[in-house]
């Protein structure tokens, strides 16, 4: 899988940036959901957690790609 990602042009830096963007998007979605929707804090928390779970995946793929690039 890492070879296919690397061949498609993705680099470790791209995945790290996606991880940090996911953290920012998580906070933004939580904040907007909390203040713009009437569903309450529980729904805002679920949105923030759902998007926040993407960051570790992006960082893990970034680490894998970084090790692949060093070989």
Q: Which residues of 5-27 are buried (b: 16+ CB within 10 A; e: fewer)?
A: beeeebebeebbebbeebeebbe
Q: Where are the domains of the chain?
A: 11-70
For residues 7 and 27, what is the distance between their CA atoms, to the nearest angstrom? Answer: 32
Residue 31 above 90 pLDDT?
no
Q: What is the pLDDT of residue 16?
A: 97
Residue of 14 and 32 predicted with greater confidence: 14
Ramachandran quadrant class, 54 (left: phi over 0; alpha: psi -120 to 50; beta: rest): alpha
pTM flag (> 0.85): no
- Average pLDDT over all residues of the chain: 90
Q: pLDDT tens, 46-64?
A: 888 888 899 999 999 999 9
What's the alpha-carbon Rg for the chain, to the nearest Å?
15
């Amino acid at each position: 899988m890492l070879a296919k990602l690397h061949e498609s042009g993705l680099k470790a830096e791209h995945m790290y940036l996606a991880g940090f963007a996911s953290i920012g998007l998580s906070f933004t979605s939580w904040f907007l959901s909390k203040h713009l929707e009437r569903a309450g804090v529980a729904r805002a928390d679920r949105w923030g957690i759902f998007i926040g779970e993407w960051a570790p995946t992006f960082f893990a793929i970034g680490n894998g790609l970084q090790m692949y690039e060093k070989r």
